[in-house]
């Protein structure tokens, strides 16, 4: 379904409630399956978190996690330790192109029984759950942090815990720290020094408690972009956010100062306020926050700000090759983009072509990142419902603040 977004103007003051972080939810859902003694509040309503919940509750021997990358990686580790159970873990066409070999090899080294059903190194995989007795493994850390988080999430259930050596430059580190912080919150001890992570095994029942998931910062990024493109004085309040977040995408607060967006935290909410700003070029390394690259590139394009985004080496193995997708769609709209396999350079442009259909490539973040452009010109978003992967109520929320959207 294509959505047309008429050139819109948003309310001077508005408020939005986004549900819990998809990343935190998918970790905590898995941990809850391992340790049923704790409860969760503000769990993400995303497709990916629903798929995670269903997969953890499923008794079927085939589990299909569609486009959900974290679910694919985390469940590979989870099913590896479900003794006596055999599961084939599969996903969408794109998921079958997203590499999983580094994680599979690490689990195999720990003793897991995993085999490839179609192509070596990629889903679908067949996992025969068993007790893993080894506790030391090394893996490449520069491809996806999700492999590392997957191992950490099951580590406290291994009889000797886990000692993980990370080889090479570590990518997306905040996501690894998020995993360790959540483990700490439920009572699992760990250490992370230099490139070695150690997790202690848990032998007794954990203390029961309720954990409240903080709202999703990657979803919040679209409101930072909307604020940046709005009139000076516009305020958007987003609830259930804290200043000291576990989510690396909270770097948005500093990054969007460049675009005149000032963030105030009060009573469990943050208010984004647009102030006057200049059009200085922007250079950013996003290796710690890859999911906000599309949002930032489109903000720059909309404001006519040139930018150099580096540290984007993980983007080509996400829901689509996000570097190619960004270049293709921004250029359709009249921009000029140069990419390598890990960077994007945007040349400042001074106009945006109207009503060009923007392709979304089964990537929720393509649809959401381009939507704020409607504050500058009328746009068309193809397959607009892709947003449900992480933010199912995105379009309703945009309408509630003044966007005019028609099918
Ligand atoms: O662990 C996580 O929850 C995630 C880690 C990141 O992936 P990479 O480590 O592959 O960059 C991020 O892009 C993804 O959306 C969520
Ligand atoms: C990359 C993402 O998700 P995943 O890897 O979990 O599919 C994302 O949400 O931007």
The residue ranges of every structural domain in the chain are 3-18+215-406, 22-212
Matching CATH topology for 3-18+215-406 and 22-212? yes
Which one is predicted more confidently, 126 or 278?
Answer: 126
Q: Residues of the chain with pLDDT > 90: what percent?
A: 98
Per-residue pLDDT at 131 exceeds 90? yes
Residue 230: pLDDT band with limits 50, 70, 90: very high
291 Cβ inside 6 Å of ligand 2: yes
Rg (CA), the chain: 21
Nearest alpha carbon, ligand 2 atom 10: 291
Residue 350 has pLDDT above 90, yes or no: no
Is 61 a known active-site residue?
no
Distance 279 CA to ligand 2 centre (A): 30
Output the pLDDT for position 375. 98
Three-class secondary structure of residue 197 per DSSP: strand
- Measured by CA distance, the residue closest to atom 3 of ligand 2 is 69
Q: Which CATH number fits domain 22-212: 3.20.20.80, 3.50.50.60, 3.65.10.10, 3.40.50.2300?
A: 3.65.10.10
172 assigned binding-site residue = yes
Centre of ligand 2 from the C-alpha of residue 92, in Å: 13
Question: In whole angstroms, what is the distance from residue 16 CA to residue 307 CA?
Answer: 29
Query: Is there a contact between 305 and 281 (Cβ–Cβ < 8 Å)?
Result: yes
Give the pLDDT confidence score for residue 203 in this predicted structure.
86
**Burial tier of 70 (Cβ tally within 10 Å: 0-12, 13-18, 19+):** buried
Region 34-46: mean pLDDT is 96
- Among protein residues, the one with the nearest Cα to ligand 2's atom 1 is 318
Mean pLDDT of all residues belonging to the chain: 97
Give me the pLDDT at residue 335, please: 97
- The CA distance from 43 to 76, in Å, is 21
CA distance 256 to 165: 35
Cβ contact 117:127 at 8 Å: no
Summarize pLDDT for 170-228 with one digit per residue, the tens.
999 999 999 999 999 999 999 999 999 999 999 888 999 999 999 999 999 999 999 99
Known binding residue 130? Answer is no
What is the CA(20)–ligand 1 centre distance, in A? Answer: 16
pLDDT at 349: 87
Out of 1.10.3720.10, 3.40.50.10860, 3.65.10.10, 3.40.50.280, select the CATH number for domain 3-18+215-406: 3.65.10.10
To the question of whether residue 85 is assigned a binding role by annotation, the answer is no
Q: Please tell me if the CB atom of residue 365 comes closer than 6 angstroms to any atom of ligand 2.
A: yes
- Which residue among 47, 48, 291, 397 is the active-site one? 291
Asked if 383 and 360 count as a contact pair (C-beta separation under 8 A), the reply is: yes
d(CA 404, CA 297) in angstroms, rounded, equals 23
Atom from ligand 2 closest to the CA of residue 68: 7
Indicate which atom in ligand 1 lies nearest the CA of residue 23. 3
| Ligand 2 atom at minimal distance to the Cα of residue 26 | 6
Using the CB atoms, write b or e for 211-245: b if 16+ within 10 Å.
bebbbbbbbbbbbbbbbbbbeeebbbbbebbeeeb
Q: Which helix (H) or strand (E) holds 30?
A: helix 22-34
Angstrom distance (rounded) from CA 93 to CA 31: 28
CB atoms within 10 A of CB 335: 23
Strands (E), 298-360: 307-310, 336-339, 344-347, 357-358
Of 29, 44, 50, 70, the one to substitute when testing ligand 2's pocket (max ligand atoms within 8 A of C-beta) is 70
Ligand 1: nearest atom to the Cα of 27: 3
Helix (H) or strand (E) holding 141: none
* Cα 185 from chain centroid (whole Å): 21
Q: Which ligand is nearest to the CA of 142?
A: 1
User: What is the DSSP secondary-structure string of 64-111?
Assistant: E-TT-HHHHHHHHHHHHTSTT-EEEEE--TTGGGS--HHHHHHHHHTT
């Amino acid at each position: 379904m294509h959505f047309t977004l008429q050139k819109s103007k948003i309310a001077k003051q508005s408020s939005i409630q986004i549900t819990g972080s998809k990343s935190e939810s998918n970790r905590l859902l898995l941990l809850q399956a391992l340790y049923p003694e704790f409860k969760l509040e503000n769990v993400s309503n995303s497709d990916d978190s629903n798929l995670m919940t269903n997969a953890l509750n499923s008794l079927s021997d085939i589990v299909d996690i569609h486009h959900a990358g974290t679910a694919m990686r985390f469940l590979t580790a989870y099913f590896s330790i479900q003794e006596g159970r055999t599961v084939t873990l599969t996903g969408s066409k794109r998921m079958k192109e997203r590499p999983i070999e580094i994680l599979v090899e690490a689990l195999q080294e720990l003793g897991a029984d995993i085999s490839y059903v179609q192509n070596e190194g990629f889903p679908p995989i067949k996992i025969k759950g068993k007790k893993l007795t080894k506790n030391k493994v090394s893996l490449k850390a520069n491809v996806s942090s999700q492999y590392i988080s997957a191992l950490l999430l099951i580590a406290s259930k291994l009889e000797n815990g886990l000692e993980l050596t990370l080889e090479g430059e570590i990518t997306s580190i905040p996501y690894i720290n998020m995993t360790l912080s959540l483990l700490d919150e439920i009572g699992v001890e760990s250490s992370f020094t230099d490139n070695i992570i150690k997790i202690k095994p848990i032998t007794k029942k954990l203390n029961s408690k309720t954990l409240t998931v903080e709202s999703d910062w990657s979803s919040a990024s679209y409101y930072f972009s909307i604020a940046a493109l709005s009139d000076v004085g516009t305020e958007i309040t987003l609830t259930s956010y804290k200043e000291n977040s576990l989510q690396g995408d909270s770097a948005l607060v500093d990054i969007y100062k460049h675009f005149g967006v000032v963030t105030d935290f009060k009573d469990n909410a943050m208010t984004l306020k647009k102030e006057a700003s200049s059009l200085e070029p922007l250079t950013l390394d996003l290796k710690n926050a890859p999911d906000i690259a599309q949002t930032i590139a489109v903000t720059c394009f909309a404001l006519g700000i040139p930018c150099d985004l580096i540290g984007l080496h993980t983007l080509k193995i996400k829901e689509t090759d996000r570097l190619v997708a960004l270049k293709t769609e921004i250029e359709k709209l009249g921009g000029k983009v140069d990419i390598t396999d890990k960077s994007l350079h945007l040349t400042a442009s001074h106009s945006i072509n109207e009503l060009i259909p923007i392709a979304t490539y089964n990537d929720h973040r393509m649809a959401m990142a381009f939507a704020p452009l409607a504050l500058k010109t009328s746009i068309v978003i193809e397959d607009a419902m892709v947003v449900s992967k992480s933010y199912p109520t995105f379009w309703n929320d945009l309408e509630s603040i003044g966007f005019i959207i028609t099918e």
